């Protein structure tokens, strides 16, 4: 009962003060869809995207950019969003396809796939970040840090993150040595140490800097080039 009351208290309310100052709508469209992704910087696993259309007057005091929330808060928000959104969907692009088309294209493709699954066709799309590709003939707007500005993008960020975390929890059972339960395949020291020790799995993104040495090599090359130019 207490859990149900908690969910009720943070569910939608047209009278409540809007969540953390987040805005409800960018356009004048009724069916405005917010899109965001999760897992773009990870070394393994899919990139996951979510598309969410919220009802007019939606408000949830806890809702914010998923990166600003605890895991428990995200898990609390997920059923609220899924139950009360007018439409929502998630979709992924796996590591093999990421390596083939690059992570930017994969992130946008995942958003397109999520919108393909919506039960309501969006009239306008708002996307977190500054890069997107046209979806059908629907007008769109990219918004830098949109997940901390608009409710539908924040909701999408929560769904993308929680659904991807769920996948990585499952994969961790197959590959327990990489600590994916905790790091979700982000480039932590422990994850990279496991790659050095155990090698890669079939879920690792082979075009990524898995060991963190490519950046160091590039920096060394730039310093050497600069030094050579100074000596001329």
CA separation, residue 188 to residues 178, 192, 194 (Å): 10, 6, 10
The SS3 of residue 60 is coil
Whether residue 230 lies inside any domain: the answer is no
Whether residue 65 lies inside any domain: the answer is yes
Q: What is the pLDDT of residue 12?
A: 40
Whether residue 227 lies inside any domain: the answer is no
CATH number, domain with residue 54:
3.30.420.10
Please tell me the pTM assigned to this model. Answer: 0.85
Residues of the chain with pLDDT under 50: 1-19
User: What's the domain range around 82?
Assistant: 2-175
Q: What is the pLDDT of residue 219?
A: 64
Whether residue 38 lies inside any domain: the answer is yes
Cβ pair 94, 46 in contact under 8 A = yes
The predicted-structure confidence for 132-178, as pLDDT tens digits, reads as follows 999 999 999 999 999 999 999 999 999 999 999 999 999 999 999 99
Q: What sign results for the dihedral spanned by CA atoms 41, 47, 53, 57? A: negative
N- to C-terminal Cα separation, the chain? 76
| Count of domains for the chain | 1
Whether residue 187 lies inside any domain: the answer is no
């Amino acid at each position: 009962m207490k859990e149900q009351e908690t969910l009720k208290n943070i569910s939608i309310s047209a009278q409540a003060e809007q969540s953390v100052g987040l805005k409800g709508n960018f356009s004048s469209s009724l069916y405005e869809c917010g899109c965001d992704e999760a897992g773009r910087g990870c070394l393994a696993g899919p990139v996951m995207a979510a598309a969410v259309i919220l009802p007019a007057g939606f408000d949830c005091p806890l809702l914010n950019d998923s990166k600003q929330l605890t895991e428990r808060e995200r898990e609390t928000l997920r059923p609220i969003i899924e139950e009360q959104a007018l439409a929502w969907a998630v979709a992924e692009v796996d590591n093999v396809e990421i390596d083939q088309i690059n992570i930017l294209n994969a992130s946008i493709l995942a958003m397109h796939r999520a919108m393909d699954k919506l039960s309501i066709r969006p009239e306008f799309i708002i996307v977190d970040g500054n890069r997107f590709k046209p979806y059908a003939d629907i007008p769109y707007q990219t918004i830098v840090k949109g997940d901390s500005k608009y409710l539908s993008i924040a909701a999408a960020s929560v769904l993308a993150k929680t659904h991807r975390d769920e996948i990585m929890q499952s994969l961790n059972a197959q590959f327990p040595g990489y600590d994916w339960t905790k790091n979700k395949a982000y480039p932590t020291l422990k994850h990279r140490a496991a790659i050095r020790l155990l090698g890669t799995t079939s879920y690792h993104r082979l075009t990524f800097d898995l060991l963190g040495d490519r950046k160091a090599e590039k920096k060394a090359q730039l310093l050497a080039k600069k030094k050579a130019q100074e000596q001329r």
